[in-house]
Structure 1
């Protein structure tokens, strides 16, 4: 719809130049507004009540645009051509201020969210906004709208694919690949590899004493430490307070030292508890307390005794149990 109305070759089919500009200004604002709005809303499924509400919202916008064009009621959409910051500083591109402010705000929000949350999908959104901006700026050029709107559509499709991948393979809390990704990784392993199973020591105590929110923070802290493991290890969240690290193309001698370094890194990275929540079992309040977080690690490698990835994982899990029996905060083979 945007391409049809904005393309100069179609303008005279339904409106004068002035009328077409009014419709264009509205679309210039609605397109980035919709992308920004829907990207900030939590995904609940297209067939849910909220999904249907979004579709109804878009449908109402389409009806409103064509209804305005048919009745030539352009006074109703003058807001889209308002000068909000004095003289239009975007006259060079013949773009309305509201549209440019929305595009600029969207890019700033997406950049900020990417810096804070490191969501790959925000990179796609930033690129989409740039594509839309270029389409609007160069809309008088032949094929410009087709090229840039097609590029924006392709990027949106890629963002949906990326989002679907993240939902299926990435653990939402820690940002690490989940068990599904682990199974896929295990199926790709060659003849030499090492698997380590890790568990946060006394994690249930963290939850019972300080609450599940603090427990989640501890999980994220440990997950962040795991991303710094050396030796080419790939960390995964296995479930609960358990994690898995896969070292493809390695043997036990190469990996043991790297796991010791990781264990020390976690033990030195204390969590500072500053909340004032009372526990269910006690009315005492704790503020500014340094919580010592440690992990136990069990490690095993593929050999004649453990020929499959499942066998190696079971061996690593048994080694993890031995590490806990030894007193925790250690690495066991």
Structure 2
């Protein structure tokens, strides 16, 4: 749980730092006048860069989140500073536009976020354009044809006891905004991804700036901030895909290779392997095998002594201890070995398996227990006169690992 919370917090670090920086600039009016004149251009620039990034990585949800933020800014700027003529078929009064936007922005972001990307990029784009375009056209038509009715719907305070006047939003929009934040945060908890964290902060920034669209450069700066956060989420996700193992959540082989280049002169490396994992997979199935790997990874994440765990490949893991000798690292590894040995992995309900299924038959050979336990073996080596490079240390740790397995498994062996 602690590591999951730490991971969630890490997703918010960059968006919150950006938001704090922009808030600081706006609060103390720190943007030079020479730059304030160009801040509108940054909205277009970041929108274009974000669109290219999201489409390059086939992230339609990110693309439409960017689009909603960009359109919100453009509509509000035009409604306030460049009001259309009364006779225009697309004219919507500023007050009506504000009411509709403050309601639609969180609503559309939630729908877009919950809409899973399951189709080909072009199909997904067309379908979303069709659905969201229809919603926007209907909203503009309603705002143009029935402005008084729209304002009468949004202006009243229906529940005075729960109205937050400081937000500067109609209560209906405020409730939609708060509900959207809750839904998006639950989605983030269920699927911790950079996009969901960036979207959450971006929504907060945009909704809170809506009542202040007449304040100098604040709208453009906040919109640029939201666009940058949503664009950075694409790069953050791409980085995670390249350096983080999807099954276990541990850093992968590429991340390990980069870490090995910056270890310094003193370090120890341990190689660990789940004992009899192939037999376990054949006996209980690959789904439970994946569950075991996730359990082992969760335990390895808790390594103490300054160690860091990586998934090396398959059922094999690497633990790196900068500034430690093999003897100093061994007690920390021993804690992990015992914790994994004592962990009980729950088996699936036998009634959910066919009677003639091979895996079901093997499961019943477990003495009727509804759980199993696994063990790991480890080998550890340190840099020294005979082992001068990380590759040599890993090779020595791997040889020690096989000595531990040959000696009976579920133990730790030191390289000689």
Give TM-score scaled by structure 2 length: 0.68
In the alignment, the residues of structure 2 paired with residue 72 and residue 281 of structure 1 have an alpha-carbon distance, to the nearest angstrom, of 62
Kindly indicate whether residue 358 of structure 2 is the aligned counterpart of residue 280 of structure 1.
yes
RMSD value, Cα:
3.4
Task: Answer yes or no: is the 8 Å Cα contact 1:80–1:98 preserved in 2.
Answer: no
Q: SS of the residue aligned with 1:131? A: helix
Deviations 1:278-314 (A, max 9, x none): 4525546657622112111111111222222111111
Distance 1:204 1:154, change over 3 A: same
Is 1:327 aligned to residue 408 of structure 2?
yes
Distance 1:157 1:88, change over 3 A: farther
- 1:256 counterpart = 2:342: no
Q: Partners of 1:79 and 1:14 in 2: how far apart?
A: 20
What residue is the counterpart of 1:297 in the other structure? Answer: 378
Q: Is the 8 A contact 1:19 1:74 kept in 2?
A: no
Structure 2 counterpart of 1:105: 179
**Larger RCO, structure (CA 8 Å, separation 6 or more):** 2
Are 1:9 and 2:80 counterparts? yes
> What residue number does 1:87 align with?
158
Write the distance in 1 (CA, Å) between the matches of 2:320 and 2:116. Answer: 33
Deviation of the 1:64 alpha carbon: 6.8
Q: What's the CA shift for 1:36?
A: 2.9
User: Do structure 1's residue 240 and structure 2's residue 314 form an aligned pair?
Assistant: yes
| Structure 1 segments unaligned to the other structure (5+ residues) | none
The total of aligned residue pairs comes to 329
> Displacement, 1:161?
2.0
CA contact (8 A) 2:92 2:144 kept: no
Comparing both structures, which one devotes a greater share of its residues to helix?
A: 2
Change in Cα spacing, 1:192 to 1:94, as seen in structure 2 (3 Å) is: closer
1:176-325 paired onto structure 2 within 5 Å: 176-276=250-350, 277-278=352-353, 279-280=357-358, 282-283=360-361, 289-325=370-406
Give the TM-score normalised by the residue count of structure 1.
0.84
Query: Does the 8 Å contact 1:23/1:65 carry over to 2?
Result: no
Q: 1:158 aligns with which of 187, 209, 232?
A: 232
